[in-house]
Amino acid sequence: MESGRSHQESFIESSTHKFILFDEPSEATLPTFKEVMKRNNCRDIVRCCEPNYDAALFTSDGINVHEMLFKDGSNPGEELIDKWLQLLKDTYINNGKQKTTIGIHCIAGLGRTPVLVAIALIEDGMKPLQAVEFIRSKRRGAFNMPQINFLKKYKPSKKKSCIIM
């Protein structure tokens, strides 16, 4: 692991997407981070925390940065979930209904980041606790109890689903 990085990136796949979960890139880790994005053909990054880097560092390379901020340790509201599901749908359709890669991060990549990925997995048909266990098997320390409780109660919406076409 590089100096300045608390967690290496983790890879999670659904039937339509490959997700790269990571902690927020710093000035020191940015070159490595950008290389991981390029190597995995990642065209979209979701930032779930306050911006601490200039999005132009990515947009200049053709990578879209999507702001989906919500409070550390908490859960996304309905509006943000709708925005997330719309991004999943749009990226899948825009990629010719082929699996596409999305990078996603918050500060440490252990709370907000895995919550959004778990929502995607649940929408894809996985049971909530299976999604939590699967993500934790790839990203140790992911989720707090309020986030797990939120996910246990989360119900996928067929009308919002990024998978049902």
Dump the DSSP string for the chain.
--TT-SS--EEEE-SSEEEEEEEPP-TTTHHHHHHHHHHTTEEEEEE-S---S-THHHHTTT-EEEE----TTS---HHHHHHHHHHHHHHHHHTTTS-EEEEEEESSSSSHHHHHHHHHHHHTT--HHHHHHHHHHHSTT---HHHHHHHHH----TTT-SS--
Is 162 an annotated catalytic residue?
no
42, 48, 49, 106: which one is catalytic?
106
pLDDT range class, residue 77, cuts 50, 70, 90 = very high
pLDDT range class, residue 35, cuts 50, 70, 90 = very high
Is 42 an annotated catalytic residue?
no
Q: What is the pTM of this model?
A: 0.89
The pLDDT value given to residue 27:
82
The pLDDT value given to residue 157:
83
**Above 80 in pLDDT, residue 163?**
no
pLDDT range class, residue 14, cuts 50, 70, 90 = very high
Over pLDDT 70: what percentage of the chain?
91
The pLDDT value given to residue 81:
98
Mean pLDDT of 138-161: 88
Which residue would you say has higher pLDDT here, 157 or 121? 121
d(C-alpha 55, C-alpha 47), whole Å:
10
The pLDDT value given to residue 28:
86
